[in-house]
Structure 1
């Protein structure tokens, strides 16, 4: 049976804007208040998906969430018709920008996924992230769970868990803090869970929050039935978090037996190396980028590690899918030239423009959730979430029909924008075969 690692990319939503909501995310803060272009953003994302399809990879898609999120406003006591609720919420600008955030496009934070070869019951397990660290993201899990259950129907192949309870103490940020190593996508793998803090500690020297807790990662490993001997937990370094590595995928990425990471990504790199070697055995290939070649600041600015590391059919060495910003950071560009020339496991670089996402702090890897699926799993999906040439053309036409090309945070209270967003999502659920998914459709 052939297995694929399928990238399910999030579509940039109609309310994509630069409100600077993500504390600890340097790009998000530095671009606060800029003019955003939602149409360009969604088309850049679709162009990335189209490019990966052209490389022979299986590509999936996940829909944006309903924004503004009127169910949250109703739960907070706002009453009346939709337009009345929006008008009342607009008198509270800080609240409005939070319930109108398009951050759901970064589906690396949507959930943690454990492939069937790794789990005790042989099913693919999903746990939606609770995203407890940030209000604008903590309102996502219910819709995320509904989307995942619709695409991957509960049963013999797919198993779904509720988001973790416990709020800040059990903060879970999804696959952005999870790596997997394997000899092949269908072979049993080793899971690496990376955390920023322990749940109940008070003396951690962090300028920015450690969003993922070890206890949350341990709970997910238990829920998914992972083999403890093939499960590793590692702490992010405080230096990396304070430099803006709010998730591990800002300083590390994996694919198959290859681990591409910054030298200063982890609090105890030697201990992590021993643990991974014990769990994986021979064959693990670590590509460690020295700090004297690429400093943490350059790594974060360029999003060198927030790349997709993929195995392209017909290519002996792996390929990095990188944002254009790597070419604007001399140290990173020089390093990549040497990396490709080195003859190591990474042999190709593909540079793509995802600048609309990058200005909010999300690179190519932020935009995708990886799910290992067999050919039979693909046939069992419950919606049209796997792209082909016809579907991606429909989505590009959909974006041109529904999306604005200019948006500022102060535009978020416009009732017309809310209506445009509802029309777009109503149209999208038909294209993807998702049925009545959103609150406004029920």
Structure 2
């Protein structure tokens, strides 16, 4: 970045912002010229570079013969006051543009406002709020006619709109344009990363979409995905402002999964405080399934098809169900007419728990019980027999005659 200042005959004050830049190799950082003198700026980088003058119309002064090279020249035969300002040499590769992005000002940091004047005799440069009032009493700053105004040890209370000012020879006060300073606290923790599920199941050829959400108070964040897939990563991002923070959703999509896509998929969130991540597992299968397993009563666990109970007991049947796609319906078929339909609960991704409670069973309730679960592409059933033996009759009382 090169700063050009014109001859002392012109007394306009210019302000160009407070960027913190990673600079390309340059010849000079501050150039002072007389009006009508030639201006030549040269820049060399490690890739294709070009000059960005303050005014778009000044791009005509970029030497065409050097276009799209690692060395670029900006040449003005007769420099005028309008050429005063900040000149930035940048890479033409869009992937390198982040090198020149303006950064936030954090609590405790300093910031230089390049308030550049065309007439160095106008110094010193002073600072005030845009509304004309004095700056905060605890705001410390220094001024330099060659570099601008440096704000020291900024705090959150220093957030506001500022202008630089100077006095001309006839004591006329001249102002820069307004510059907004936003002092934000430095983050203390990496972003919280949330995935909706810890497991995904898909049939070969189906689409997979995984949503990863996080929050951050500013745009200084990054979300990436890690997957051992041979597919090119296809990611979309949606950012919404909510109060003082950003709600960020990143969606990873595989249009048609293959068996090779099975494995762990990780969402990684990064901000200036650090890195956090969350993982999920993808299982790719050849066909849909519904699997049933008895949990209670213990006599039925392991494939036993008969359970014997005493008349008057309470009996609870519990089944564990695993299915993909999701279940659409389930039914109990009982050996007697009853309104008892049992209950079913979701027990995590692709898992359910079904239960049937029989209170104070009697002889009418013994017989064959069948549970059936159905999904759009598969179904399964499980049956068992409930047998009942009578409760022993109480003993006949013995009568003793004395």
TM-score (norm 2): 0.20
Of the two structures, which has the highest relative contact order with CA contacts closer than 8 Å and spacing of 6 or more? 1
TM-score (norm 1): 0.18
Which structure has the bigger radius of gyration? Answer: 2
